[in-house]
Every structure is written in C-alpha cells, then in structure tokens.
Amino acid sequence: MSRLPALFVALGLLASPVRAETAPPADAPAKPAPAVVSPPAATGADAADTSLSPECRVPGSKLYTLARLAAVKAALKEHRAVRVLTIGSTSGAATSSASYPVRLETALERSLPEVDVVVEARGLQGEIASGAAERLRALVAEIEPDLVIWQVGTADALARVELDAFADALDETVRWIKSHRIDVVLVDPLYTKSLAQDEYYNSIVRKVFEVARREAVPLVQRYEAMRYLSAGSDKGEAHFLGRQFRLNDLGMRCMAEHVTRAITLSLLQPDATGSGNGPIVGKEPPKDRPATEASPAPAR
Amino acid sequence: MRDPNAIDFWRGLALVTIFINHIPGNTFERYTYSQYGISDAAELFVFLAGWSIGIATRDKSGERESVFRSVQRLLSRTIEVYRAQITIMVLALAMIAGTALVLDNPLILEWHNAGGFFGDPIQTVVGVALLTHQLGFFNILPLYVVLLGVAPLFVIVARYSRLAALGLSLALYATSLVEEWNLPSWPGDGDWFFDPLCWQLLLVLGFVLEDWNRRSPLLRIWARRLVPLGIVIVLLGIVLSVFELRPDPLLVPEPRLIFTFDKTYLTPARLIHFVGVLLAFHLVYAWIAPRIGPAVDYLSRLGRNSLAVFSMGSILSLAGQLVRFWTGGGLLVDVLVVGAGLLGLGTTAWFVEWRSRKPRVRA
C-alpha cells in the first residue's frame, strides 16, 4: 500500500472525538445470536458505552472493530468450555486477582452467563517479524484454544522493525491461526503522549488495524481507547510517576472490559450466508469507523 | 591466561552472535549465522559449556580430579552464574524503568515480560530470585544455573560409565519431549523459555564428547569422515530457514515435539542440525586461525571470560535496544550501537583478565 492512503487512515484514526459524533448508530444486529450477551448499546456508536465501568467508558467507534467469531460460537452452541489464549507483553505475568487474565476471565464469564471460560495467559518474547510468530504457533499448538486474544505490536515497535516485515508476519500468523478454525482478536499497542507524534509508532498501530480488517478479525483499539480516556481524565491529581503512567494504569485496568465488550459484540455478528469465507467487515460498512466523515475513506 | 584455542574461539563467536541477535531489528542481525540454520548460537554456547566442564575437571596432565573437587567446582560455578543473573536482572529492570521515566513513556515498561514485574512487583520479585520470572533475552543464565546445578550428577555417573551418563541424559530428554515436561514460570502461567530438562542433553553431550575426543582416536576419525554429511545438513538448514520451511505444529502427529522446530524444547530437528554444524565446522578453526589472527585473539578472549562477557553483553544489548528505540534506529545508529557493543565486550574481557592476572579455569 502506498503511504498516502495509509496516512489518511491515520488521520481518520486521530480525528477528534467531536468529529466522530456524526457517525450513524451502529451495532443493530440483523438476528440476535443465542442469548448469550446483553444487547449492544442502543445508543449511538459514539456515545460512551455505558455497559463499561465509568472510568473505562469509551465510544464503541474508538474501541473496536467487529468481525465474526465462528469457533467461539461453535463452542457456545456445543455447550462446552471456551478456551482462550491471551498473548501479550503484560499478560504473561502476575497471578494476583487484579491482573489482566483474571479480570478477563471474570468479565467474559459475566458477559456469557453459564459459559465456562478458561483463560490461559502467555507472554511472548521477541518480535513477530523475527521468531516470535514461530513461538506463537508452538503456544497455540500446545494450548489448542478456541480463541486467541493477541496484544500485538509492542515488541516490534520497541525494536523498530521494518513496517512491512511486521505487517506481513502478522498477517501470515493471523491467517495461520484462522486456518486451524481458531478465532483471533487483535489488541493494538497502548497510547502514550510521547509517542502520539511518532510516525513510525502510529504506522505500527495502523498496520494492526489493516491486518485486522484484511483478515476480518475483531480488533480492540487500545490505542484509540486510551487516547480517548487521556483526553477526559485530566483531573490534575499528580500520579507519582506522571500522568502518562497513570493513564497506562487505567488502560491496563480497562483492557479486560474492552476486550470482553469487543468479543461479546462480535459474537452477535450474523453468520455469513453462502460459503462464509468472505471478510464480513468488508461486506458491511465499516460501522465502527467514522465512515461518513469528510476525510477520505480508508483504502481497502 | 590460556592461549587462543578452538573452544574459546567458537564460544567467543557464539557470544558475539548472541549479542547482535539480542538487539532485534538491527541491520547486522541478518548477517549472523543464526539466521541461516535451524539451531543457533544458544546450542553452541551450551554445548561448549559442557565441553569446558570436561576440560575443567581435569588437571594439566589430563588426570581427572577427585569427584569431591569436581562437585565443589561445579557448585561454586553455579553460585557465580546465579549471582550474575540476579545482577543483570536488577540492572535491566532499572534500565527499563529509568528509560521509561526519562522518556515519559510507559510503553517501555512492557519490554519483553518486564510489565509483569512493574505490574505486580510483590510476587514477581520473588519470581526473579527463584529464576522463575525471566525477562526476554535474559533467560539463558537461568538455564545455565540449573544445568550446572545438575551437572554433578552426570559427572559422577560418567566416572563409572560415560555411556550411562549419556543414556540417562537421553532418557530424560526423550521423556521430556514426549510428556512436554518443563519448569514452570511464576508468577503467571507458562514455562521456561529454555527447558532445562531438554537442554541438559547438549551439556552432557559436550562433556562426554570431550572425554571421548581425548581418549579415542575413533571419534576424531569418524568426525572427519562425516564432514560431508555435516555440510549437507548445514546446506539443508540454510534452505529451510531462508525459505522458512518448517512443520506446522498443529498438523504434525503426536507427540508433536518430536517433529516441530522448537527452541524451548530443543527438538530433534534442532539437535540434528547442531550436530551437523559441529561435523561441518569442527576442522575449520585450525584452517582459519592463522589467517585471521586479530579476530581469533579477540574472540578467544571473549570466550575465555564467557560469563562476564555474556552478562555485560546482555546489558549492552538491552542498552542498544533502548537507544535504537529512542533514536528511531537506522544504519548509522546500528553501526554505532553494535560497534560500541563489540568494543564493550572486548573491554570487559580485557578488564577481567587485567584484574585477575592469573589463569582461572572456568567450567
């Protein structure tokens, strides 16, 4: 992809919350799935999602893009436990009850009543572009999950690996997971002020977005969500380490909720007719993108 | 101080390779031999550690020292390596936290598994001391601590029968592969990045082969005859890694670790490739040593002081990563980072030798 359209996508991503107000309401499912989740927020996609804890409230458009989760749905239909593998830089550690995997398991079980969710958390050393993708395959083979929730991009961004190498490796790995009838949810890297103007870093975030769309997998936009929260959370109470660290703290605490929201809403996505191989997100309007904005539509 | 020799030379090369590969994304990464094979510098490093135990547990005349002395030596070395691991972990965590503060950037706290420490220091500091919490790229020394810790068992068995020691090691390796045994990480789920139960085989192999190599001309004759086989394996490894051909871990039959290319468990493919590398290159040192004098001196000096150089290399490669992130990378930065690092490794080795001024045999 040439750089210019990609830049417009970024501009779209970075549009102020006010601009996004014009987007039409979304999330009206054609047919409710088996009664497993509360209905999605009936409010506009750009009002803060009230199903989230007050401090974590972010409009849906800034929080996720949705896609079908066939393997999880199948597990639900068969009334068996849903096995979830979370992969990411922070998810591999800490078993205290406050930690992300435990929060995630709790949040998912609350959203999917009477479903047993088993979350396995693993850290992943290294870059997707070199080696880590291989280890991820080994992890998936070891755990054999129904769903992989993959916090991706941090290590590659820190190593400043070449953008295309990152995107290609990510794309290939997501395709591999899907080829084994395992669902994937991607989570992009965090937002912090000192990186807001870092073009390379924004490109990494954008690459994750592009791969999620190309492979039709749900994406939790941690970057956008935290950016939104950062705008609203300036209460002046000085964190010991400074505001960006407090924001990160908050982002961590909210991530389990955000991921859960994206998953439960994705489960409401209607099953595709016919072969069912088409990219669902591509068929429908990019409902959680501010598509009606004046800015050029993202290149497909 | 011992003269340059093949073991120190190759170990020095492994150290330089590990240093460069631990600065991911840098320009020189693609020129290390790790990119052109199924096994990499870690195998070489552990194998040579085993070989060195063989050398270290003899006196100058080649007589084996008493069992008690060997066990004492290995125990003391275990403590030394543990101390090194704790030191570099503390420095690494401080470097990560310090950089995050200076750059006002919490992303850096998520650096390869460090997030767990900063998110939950109470449990994780215990994990650091127990070696069950490992940062990415800082997981070779914990393996080494465990290997040296169990080495006395194999050394004692080998006093009675080298074949028995090797058999015991192979049995443990095979069982661990089939049963997927590994040491657990804690806090958090998951296992060690380097499974000591599998990797011990390389250490024992190095130890036993050193002994056979010394006693029986047969091993040397056969190693020489099998050089072509080694070259074929190396070429095959180049083809497989360049074209990224490897078995799909979800499609191979059970027990799947027999078939996959997995670093954690040192799967058979990696082991076979490494043996191929040994066969192909074991005569190369004698040929190149006279031709690349200064490089031999430099690498051998690194190899002679491998623990200090490895520890400093870990710190320098982390510093290199942080500098690359901060500056945005690029060829110039990579040249400076890697150049300064190689100089730093050489200086470390020189400093250690200058300080001790007496030869110390290292396990």
Peptide bond into B187 cis (omega under 30): yes
Structure confidence by residue, pLDDT tens digits, A193-234: 889 999 999 999 999 999 999 999 999 999 999 899 888 655
The answer to whether residue A146 scores a pLDDT higher than 80 is: yes
What average pLDDT is seen over chain A? 75
The answer to whether residue A97 scores a pLDDT higher than 50 is: no
Q: In what order do the strands lie in the sheet with A82-87?
A: A64-65, A219-220, A183-187, A147-151, A82-87, A117-122
Domain membership of residue A168 (yes or no) is: yes
Domain membership of residue B363 (yes or no) is: no
The answer to whether residue A25 scores a pLDDT higher than 70 is: no
Put simply, whether A293 touches B (Cβ < 8 Å) is: no
Q: What angle do CA B28, B29, B31 make, to 5 degrees?
A: 70
Domain membership of residue A249 (yes or no) is: yes
Cα gap A54→A121, rounded to integer Å:
26
Residue listed under structure tokens 């909210």 = A254
Please indicate whether, in this complex, the C-beta atoms of A192 and B29 are within 8 angstroms of each other.
Answer: no
Number of residues assigned to chain B: 363
**The pLDDT value given to residue B363:** 52
Phi, psi of B234 (to 5 degrees): -65, -45
Comparing CA positions, the residue from B48, B46, B41 lying closest to residue B18 is B41
- The CATH number covering residue A187 comes to 3.40.50.1110
**The pLDDT value given to residue A283:** 37
Nearest Cβ partner for B187 among A93, A122, A144: A93
- Chain A stretch 117-156, residues whose beta carbon is closer than 8 A to a beta carbon of chain B: 120-123, 125-127, 129-130, 134-135, 137-138, 140-142, 144, 154-156
Contact B312, B22 (CB under 8 A): no
Domain membership of residue A21 (yes or no) is: no
* Other beta carbons within 10 Å of A97: 8
Pairing of strands A64-65, A82-87: unpaired
Shortest distance, CA A123 to any CA of chain B (angstroms)? 6
Percent of chain A with pLDDT over 90: 39
Amino acid at B218: L
Six-digit token string for A220: 């939790």
Pairing of strands A183-187, A64-65: unpaired
* Rounded (10°) CA dihedral B126, B128, B132, B138: 170
Residue listed under structure tokens 């054999």 = A144
Residue listed under structure tokens 């990019």 = A286
Put simply, whether A99 touches B (Cβ < 8 Å) is: yes
Domain membership of residue A297 (yes or no) is: no
Rounded mean pLDDT for each run of 10 residues along chain B, 363 residues in total:
90 96 92 92 96 90 88 96 98 95 88 84 93 93 97 95 96 97 89 97 96 90 96 97 92 93 96 97 93 93 96 97 94 96 98 81 55
Six-digit token string for B13: 């090369």
Q: Which residues are within 8 A (CB) of A17 and not within 5 positions of it... i.e. 6 or more apart?
A: A46, A59, A62, A228, A231
Shortest distance, CA A242 to any CA of chain B (angstroms)? 8
Structural domain range at position B223: 6-356
Shortest distance, CA B308 to any CA of chain A (angstroms)? 24
Give the count of domains, chain B: 1
**The pLDDT value given to residue B361:** 56
**The pLDDT value given to residue A234:** 55
State the complex-level ipTM. 0.88
**The pLDDT value given to residue B358:** 60
| pTM, rounded to two decimals | 0.85
Structure confidence by residue, pLDDT tens digits, A258-280: 999 999 999 988 876 444 444 44
- Cα B185 to Cα A93, B182, B208: the distances in Å are 9, 9, 30
The lowest-confidence range among A77-86, A282-291, B227-236, B316-325 is: A282-291
Residue listed under structure tokens 């396995």 = A120
Please indicate whether, in this complex, the C-beta atoms of B246 and A89 are within 8 angstroms of each other.
Answer: no
Which residues from A are below 8 Å from B187, CB to CB?
93-96
Domain membership of residue A151 (yes or no) is: yes
Cα gap B65→B363, rounded to integer Å:
13
Domain membership of residue B10 (yes or no) is: yes
* Other beta carbons within 10 Å of B191: 17
Structural domain range at position A127: 59-270
Residue A130's DSSP bridge partners are: A127
Domain membership of residue A284 (yes or no) is: no
Domain membership of residue A279 (yes or no) is: no
Comparing CA positions, the residue from B326, B309, B264, B37 lying closest to residue B136 is B264
Please indicate whether, in this complex, the C-beta atoms of A248 and B106 are within 8 angstroms of each other.
Answer: yes
Residue listed under structure tokens 């730093």 = B344
Q: Which residues are within 8 A (CB) of B151 and not within 5 positions of it... i.e. 6 or more apart?
A: B53, B74, B203, B207, B363
Cα gap A144→B123, rounded to integer Å:
28
Per DSSP, the three-state class of B130 is helix
Domain membership of residue B361 (yes or no) is: no
Element (H, E) at A87: strand A82-87
Q: What is the residue-wise DSSP string for B242-277?
A: HTT----TTTSPSSGGGTS--TTTT-HHHHHHHHHH
Give the count of domains, chain A: 1
Domain membership of residue A256 (yes or no) is: yes
